[in-house]
Every structure is written in C-alpha cells, then in structure tokens.
Structure 1
Amino acid sequence: MKEWKVIKMENHRQCRAIIIDDEEWIREGLSEHIDWDKLGIELVRAFKDGTEAFSYLEKETADIILSDIRMPNMSGLELLSRLRERGAGRPDLTQVKVIFLSGFGDFKYAQEALRLGAIDYLLKPTEVEEIEASLLKAKRRHEESFERTAPAAEPAEEPSSYLIKKALQLLSDRYHEDLHLSDLAAELFITPNYLSRLFRQETGKSFVELLMEIRLEKARAMLTQDMVKIYEVGLAVGYPNPRYFSEWFQKNTGMSPGEYRNLYFRG
C-alpha cells in the first residue's frame, strides 16, 4: 500500500492533487502510472469515496481532484456540489479543479459535471497521456486562479442553488407522476438524503410539502377554469383514485373538490 506523505513547501507551494475511486486497483494505477513529478503536481492522498475525501478537505487543502462519478456513500458530483457550498467559509474550496474519470457514457453525467464547474470529463478506459493532459489543464487553471485577486472570476451562482432550481423545475414538470424523492435525486446524480437537506436549507420545506403545494395549485386552477370532471382533475395531478383525491383535497383545503368548484368556478 502506498504511504502518503504531505510535503510542506515554503512560499509558492506545489500544486496538490487527490484521487477518489472506489476501485483500489484504479487508485493504485493512477498513482503509479501518471508521472506526477513531470507534471509538477504533488499527489497527496487517495480515497475510496466522496465521504472520505470530503472529511479530508474540510481540514486540508487540495488544488486538483481526479474523481470517479458513481461511488458508495457520496458521488463525485455530490462531493463537488458540497465543496462549492462551503465556499463562503472556505474560499479555497471554490478554487478546487475537478476532473471526472467515469465509466458511464451518459451525456447527462458530463452535462451535470460541467455545470458544476468540472474542468474535464473523461470516459474509462482512458489513456494515461489523456489524463496527464487534463491534469496539466487543471494545473494551469489553478495557477491562473491563484494569481487572480478579484473574486468576481468565480461563478455567480452556487451549485447548491442550481441543484435546487433544477429540482423545483423537475417537480413542476413531473408533479402528475408517481414521484418520489429518490426519482429527483437520481435525475440530479445526488443521494436522496442530500437532496432532502437541500430542500430544507433552500426552501424551508420538505419534498412532500413542495410536491403537495404544486399539486394543490394545479388542481385549484383546473377546478376554477376548466370544464373537466373532478376525477380527471385528480388524475391530472397524480391521484388516479377519485376517492383518495377528494379526501386529500378536502384535508388540505377544508372543502371537497365539488364545493371548491361551486364556490370558485368562473364559467
């Protein structure tokens, strides 16, 4: 097993990198076959998942992360999002350059990675030369950031806010489906627990509360403006069982769908 040593450097320290992958042979291969000395990059640690890496980065620093996407406990995308969240208290975390090295070719992963500020997205298996070229690009970006004094170069929108906006848009688009928190989390490539915390932090409400609000708003609009049958309204907002829809609507509004229509219908 490789023994990791952090070399303390004076003045302008060497660019530091960490590896994150749940496969030990990949971690060992990347550490041994990439010519880190030639690149002028110090490889300081390797981790088996995002949770271990995040704990390390809360106390230590790294300039480049070479990471897998899908891993147990915390994905690479979730790790990047969490690092950006911590930017207010730790500005150095917003400067970390991330390269994703993944075996999954779905474009959504690449799109999400780039939106969150990743430097590159490489598909396994990848030639060492390609990885080294990407690492050099990340190193140059790090050096450029290090030399800047104006923080305005950083993205104006924090990734956590972006994730919530996208989650709310998904809720608005898919409210009529049999939708669960895990469905949205899968779309955003993060864990359900993390998405639940983001909903609470950003909106003060849970996934269930937000979904209910959207469904109620849509149901009310249909009952007051559209000449559709009540069971069709229920079906349109995700409740195919007419009795359950009526009970749910009355519980949340204080009146049945029929009473609401009689009171507010604009025919």
Structure 2
Amino acid sequence: MNQACKAIIIDDEAWIREGLSEHVGWRELGIELVRSFRDGTEAYAYLEQEPVAVVLSDIRMPNMTGLELLAKLHERRGARPDLPLPKVIFLSGYEDFKYAQEALRLGAVDYLLKPAEVEEIEAALARAKRMAEESQERNVVPGEAAGAGSDRCGTDEPGSYLIKKAIHMLTTRYGEDLHLSDIAGELFITPNYLSRLFRQETGKSFVELLSDIRLENAQALLSKETMKIYEVGAAVGYSNPRYFSEWFHKNTGMTPGEYRNLHYGTVT
C-alpha cells in the first residue's frame, strides 16, 4: 500500500486503541493502520524511523501529551525536512475541549470529542488522507497544504508559538506569584517540556527570564517618584520588602534606594 496512506493510533486506554482498530473501516478508507501506541513517547520513537501520513491521537496521555508530540514533529521537520509531517487528528474528552482548541492552533487537522461516532472518525480520517495526498502531489511538506493550518499561527513553528504565548504571560503578569507549572498548565503542556522550550528558544530558564522582566520593570518604576520602594517591590511580584531589596541588589549591585538616588542624581 502507498506509504502516503499509512496511519497510527495513540491512546493510553487499551480498549480505545482496540476499538478504533476494529471498528473503523481502515481498508475501505484506503488507509493502512500500521501500529498502535499507548503514549506519545513510544509513537515519536516509531515515527523517527517509520514516517506515516496520518496520526489519530488522544491529547492527554502520560510521558508525552498529544500536543507535545505535535510540537516535536514540527521541530523534527526543521532538522529533517526530508521526513513528512503527518496529518494529526485529536480525540478529546469533554473536559479537554480547550486542549483541542489549542491543538488546532498548532496545526492539527481536526479534533473529535469522545465518545465520537465511527462515522465522524472515518470522515476526519478521509479528510486527513486527502490532504496528505494533495500535499504529496504538490511536492510540499505534509502539513503545509492549503487548510492544514492557515490562519492559525502564521509561519511560526509550534515551539516558537508556545514560547511567544508564555513570554506574553510573563510580560503582562510578572507581578503575580508565577510558577513554571502555572504557565505550562495554561498552555496545556508539561512543565518539563516548557522548561526545555524556554532554554531552546531564549537561551534562558523560566526563572531567569521572569527575573529579567521583573528587574526591567522595577528599574522603570524606581525611575519615577510616584511609588514607594515597597510598592515597587509588590508591583513586580515581591511582597516582602526585604527580599525585594536583596534580590534587586543581587542583580544590580545597588539597593532599590541607591538606584533611585542615582537616577535622580543624574537627571538634569
């Protein structure tokens, strides 16, 4: 069978994998179901060696979520442009609806809410197969055909898109008690994966980047006399004045008061 028509299933529930394997009309659709996997890590290892055209995947799974898998596949495309980017269809539980919305923004072909009717799944698979074939005919990387992800995230790769969202959160909410797990949760990815993305995309850790943003804003506020020093500290996320002073001194070599005096001492 044509390689462009191969597919895999990824779901941590064995009964779902078995049900999809048995009840979907794969042969009638012209698709060869080659393997089933219980999580994204296993599936990604397989895809490194055996590219397929279509991936039917759950979103929330242990080890590697469906969204992380999709992002890694896009990252792989940058390093291995010879490997095709499969068309990804997500299956999502009702409580995971926002995950599915995010998946579409990252370039997924479609999402289906569990429990989905067999006819719905087959229609989505037929669409994904058609898109893969059209991409192949036009000699473009699968995933870039018309409709694959237009008007979702521009030309940004998913990793870059996620980091842009994360940095926007930091620059607008630096005054909150933010933690890596908070940001990761809102982006529907694991903290470990987000931590790797921060290093990869910015060269800095989450803590380092947040500290830089807070410092820049603290310096800007201290350059004005409209706020007391303890108010500046609270505004940038440090409610304890002593800790704020120690942190500021560690990063600038000056106390907040010294920085303010120096600033006004140079103003003409």
Q: Decide whether aligned partners of structure 1 residues 218 and 107 sit closer, same or farther in structure 2, where only a CA change above 3 A counts.
A: farther
Task: Figure out how many residues of one structure are paired with residues of the other and give that number.
Answer: 257
1:204-215 aligned within 5 A: 204-215=203-214
2:11 aligns with: 21
Match of 1:91, SS state, is coil
Please state if 1:60 is matched with 2:60: no
1:109-148 aligned within 5 A: 109-148=99-138
1:168 aligns with: 167
1:180-219 aligned within 5 A: 180-219=179-218
Matching residue's letter, 1:136: A
The answer as to whether partners of 1:84 and 1:93 remain within 8 angstroms in 2 is: no
1:179-258 aligned within 5 A: 179-258=178-257
How far 1:107 moved relative to its partner? 4.5
TM (normalized to structure 1)?
Answer: 0.91
| Cα separation, 1, equivalents of 2:22 and 2:223 | 67
How far 1:156 moved relative to its partner? 2.5
How far 1:263 moved relative to its partner? 1.2
1:83 aligns with: 73
2:149 aligns with: none
How far 1:103 moved relative to its partner? 0.5
Matching residue's letter, 2:74: R
1:116-148 residue CA offsets vs partner (Å, 9 max, x unmatched): 110101110110100100000101110111111
Q: Give the unaligned 5+ runs of structure 2.
A: 146-153
The answer as to whether partners of 2:6 and 2:33 remain within 8 angstroms in 1 is: yes
The answer as to whether partners of 1:105 and 1:123 remain within 8 angstroms in 2 is: no
Q: Give the unaligned 5+ runs of structure 1.
A: 1-8
Matching residue's letter, 2:205: S
Please state if 1:47 is matched with 2:37: yes
How far 1:164 moved relative to its partner? 1.2
| Cα separation, 1, equivalents of 2:263 and 2:165 | 33
| Cα separation, 1, equivalents of 2:4 and 2:85 | 15
Match of 1:240, SS state, is coil
| Cα separation, 1, equivalents of 2:167 and 2:78 | 24
Match of 1:179, SS state, is coil
The answer as to whether partners of 2:4 and 2:52 remain within 8 angstroms in 1 is: no
| Cα separation, 1, equivalents of 2:83 and 2:162 | 18
1:211-243 residue CA offsets vs partner (Å, 9 max, x unmatched): 000000010011102511111111111111111
Percent of matched pairs sharing the same residue: 71
1:4 aligns with: none
Higher alpha-carbon deviation: 182-191 or 130-139 = 182-191
Matching residue's letter, 1:98: V
| Cα separation, 2, equivalents of 1:131 and 1:91 | 29
Higher alpha-carbon deviation: 92-101 or 38-47 = 92-101
| Cα separation, 2, equivalents of 1:174 and 1:203 | 19
Matching residue's letter, 1:129: E
Higher alpha-carbon deviation: 119-128 or 183-192 = 183-192
How far 1:106 moved relative to its partner? 4.8
Matching residue's letter, 1:130: E
Match of 1:73, SS state, is coil
1:239-265 residue CA offsets vs partner (Å, 9 max, x unmatched): 111111111111111111111111114
| Cα separation, 1, equivalents of 2:130 and 2:27 | 15
Please state if 1:99 is matched with 2:98: no
Match of 1:238, SS state, is coil
Higher alpha-carbon deviation: 102-111 or 168-177 = 102-111
